[in-house]
């Protein structure tokens, strides 16, 4: 373990998750200091990041970014061009997992259960209304390529939803999916192993939304989930399968729903850049499995690479 490596921690940015990224990045900076790395640089992600990194010449970039431009393949491609090793997954895996529609298509090809879904397009109100009528309430509206549940809306049977009044804040396409009531379950995968799982129970909101994720006291975390041992074993195996089917590397969090009606597990998404905030799930799961936060950070540094 070469503590003389120059580590650049990339954080922040200009998307809807920049503050979450800064919180994750700050925690990583603290861990690197505790681990004894002698040269660590905090790099705020902006449009001049290529020039900044070329001047710094770091040995490794720790990618603590979340959301657009950070975990969708764009910064990964730039780092490949600059030939700077970086943490987490590469271009292809990142872009696939960030695009919910593309990812769902791949899931279906691998016979992984996902909620019924479709795409709604701005300006195509008549077709959109047909799709909504087909999916039927209750349903969920999601931006295609945002994280941290930004822009997610659950529309229950007794709620009004008029697509002609939708504000389209997150692009010209959104995803609609059938709402499934059940347990929200997540699996942490580290070093090609499903190290554990968690059940999240929001105390005040209908689902594990942005506020529930990042506001202390709003969610209960049950590790392991209160489900039969056989079902949890199935969950862990499915989490690893999903991580591997798109070629994710080093670390991921795989999100599922356990349908309370048919008792089947439905995949929602894979997060290739799971959060490192005080409330983030992967560090909680890892800690229960005997893996410290600092050990995760060191593992990611040691496995950083280009052209993944």
Q: Which positions are catalytic?
A: 17, 148, 214, 253, 255, 269, 271, 275
Among residues 240, 279, 276, the alpha carbon closest in space to that of 87 is found at 276
Among residues 233, 237, 242, 234, the alpha carbon closest in space to that of 267 is found at 242
Q: How far apart are alpha carbons 29 and 46 in whole angstroms?
A: 19
159 burial type by CB count under 10 A (0-12 exposed, 13-18 middle, 19+ buried): exposed
| Contact assessment for residue 26 and residue 12, using Cβ atoms and an 8 Å cutoff | no
Q: How far apart are alpha carbons 148 and 73 in whole angstroms?
A: 17
Structure tokens at 74: 């764009």
| β-strand pairing of 6-11 with 39-44 | parallel
The DSSP output letter for 110 is T
Among residues 308, 307, 301, 222, the alpha carbon closest in space to that of 58 is found at 301
Helices 74-82, 49-56: inter-axial angle, 10-degree rounding: 40
| Contact assessment for residue 30 and residue 276, using Cβ atoms and an 8 Å cutoff | no
| Contact assessment for residue 308 and residue 249, using Cβ atoms and an 8 Å cutoff | yes
């Amino acid at each position: 373990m070469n503590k003389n490596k120059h580590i650049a921690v990339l954080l922040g940015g200009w998307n809807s998750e920049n503050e979450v990224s800064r919180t994750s990045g700050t925690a990583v900076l603290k861990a690197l200091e505790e681990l004894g790395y002698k040269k660590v640089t905090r790099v705020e992600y902006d449009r001049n990041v290529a020039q900044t990194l070329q001047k710094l010449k770091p040995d490794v970039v720790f990618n603590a970014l979340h959301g657009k431009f950070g975990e969708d393949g764009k910064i990964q491609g730039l780092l490949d061009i600059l030939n700077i090793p970086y943490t987490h997954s590469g271009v292809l895996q990142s872009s696939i997992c960030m695009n919910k529609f593309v990812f769902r298509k791949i899931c279906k090809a691998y016979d992984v259960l996902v909620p019924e879904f479709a795409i709604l397009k701005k300006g195509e109100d008549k077709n959109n209304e047909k799709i909504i009528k087909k999916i039927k309430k209750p349903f969920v509206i999601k931006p295609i390529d945002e994280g941290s549940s930004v822009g997610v809306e659950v529309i229950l049977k007794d709620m009004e939803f008029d697509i002609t009044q939708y504000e389209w804040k997150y692009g010209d396409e959104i995803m609609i999916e059938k709402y499934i009531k059940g347990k929200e379950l997540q699996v942490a995968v580290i070093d090609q192993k499903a190290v554990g799982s968690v059940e999240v129970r929001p105390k005040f909101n209908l689902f594990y939304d942005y506020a529930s994720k990042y506001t202390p006291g709003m969610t209960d975390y049950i590790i392991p989930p209160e489900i039969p041992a056989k079902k949890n074993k199935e969950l862990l195996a499915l989490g690893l399968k999903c991580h591997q089917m798109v070629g994710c590397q080093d670390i991921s969090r795989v999100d599922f729903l356990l349908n309370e009606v048919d008792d089947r597990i439905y995949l929602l998404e894979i997060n290739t850049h799971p959060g490192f905030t005080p409330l983030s799930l992967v560090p909680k799961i890892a800690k229960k499995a005997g893996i410290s936060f600092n050990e995760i950070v060191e593992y990611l540094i040691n496995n950083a690479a280009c052209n993944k």
